[in-house]
Amino acid sequence: MKASQVKVCVLRIEGTNCEEEMFMSFKRLGAKPEKVHLKQLTGTDVSQEEKRDLSDYHILALPGGFSAGDYVRAGAIFAARMKSKLSKDLVEFIKAGKPVLGVCNGFQILVETGLLPAMSGIMSEFPEAVLGTNDSARFECRPTLLRKVNRGSCAFTSRISPDKISLIPSAHAEGKLMFPLDRTKAVLRELEDNDQIVFKYVDPEGNLAGYPWCPNGATENIAGICNREGNVFGLMPHPERVFFRFTHPDWTRETDGPGDGRAVFESVLDYATRKL
């Protein structure tokens, strides 16, 4: 399949606000993105022409924002709405090896839906992790540095070398990834064995470091994880905000080139054109 044939569903509901950047990131690389409201997939309150079928798309992208006002918990309402009517479609989509990306609020939605970390199977009935309030109890909004720790399972990071330190901005108040307290160690070991940990927050030397390098106090500095097959990926920082070098804060002091976030989209399009 050619990149120009890859159809991307950028899914939104009220309160998502990063769909434009997400849409543009795929469009600039020659794919065919479309901004789709969740109602168009569930078929509620929409005309016949507006209805869409998830299976017609090759990539599903959940953009950041504050879906449904982040009421109850960040991402919980979006997740509940997806689960109510789309569970089967989602599971089939993922089973077919099609990639799903969740950025920031999108990551929170994937976790609340049970699609990540998905320790056993594709979608767990109840969440197996949580993105809790940052340790600072504040909205942390600034550039963060990430190092890829994934050994190759993740469909979204094949174009990123393991020694590259990527500058990708964070903007969230609930990004502290946590697992059940009584089983944290076991879960971490399993994630490690399954190659599910993708990005960690690091300092400029690439070492795991505390606040402010890690903006939220996440377990083991984890910024992003994928499922066991590597086709569902969620991360808190926003790669779509650094598609171009000139949106890096230090861009005038560095040589020109692509922004650090671009490789995430290139990687997944690579995957889609090769495998789908």
Partner 1 sequence: MVVAEVRVELKKGVADPEGKNTLKALELLGFDGLKDVKTVKVFDIYLEDGGDVEKKVDEMCRRLLANPVIHNYSVKIK
Q: Which amino acids are annotated catalytic?
A: 104, 238, 240
CA–CA separation, 243 and 53 (whole Å) = 29
Residue 124: closest CA among 175, 187, 64, 71: 187
CB of 178 to partner 1, least distance (A): 6
CA distance 161 to 94: 26
With helix as H, strand as E and coil as C, how does 143-158 read?
EEEEEECCCCCCCCCC
Tell me which residues in 99-138 interact with partner 1 (CB under 8 A). 112, 126-130, 132-137
Q: How far is the CB of 82 from partner 1 (least distance, A)?
A: 12
The token pair at 102 is 């969740």
Helices marked H in the chain = 19-28, 38-42, 76-95, 105-113, 184-193, 262-275
Our CB check for partner 1 shows the closer of 181 and 205 to be: 181
Rounded least distance, CB 127 to partner 1, Å: 5
Taking CB under 8 A as the criterion, which residues in 155-184 touch partner 1? Answer: 176, 178-181
Q: What track of x and - describes contact with partner 1 for positions 68 through 97 (by CB under 8 A)?
A: ----xx--xx--x--x--------------
- Indicate the residue among 31 and 109 with the shorter CB distance to partner 1: 109
Residue (56 or 181) nearer to partner 1, CB: 181
User: What tokens does 198 get?
Assistant: 């993708």
Cβ–Cβ under 8 Å, residues 218 and 201 = yes
Give me the residues that bind partner 1 (CB under 8 A), please.
72-73, 76-77, 80, 83, 112, 126-130, 132-137, 176, 178-181, 217
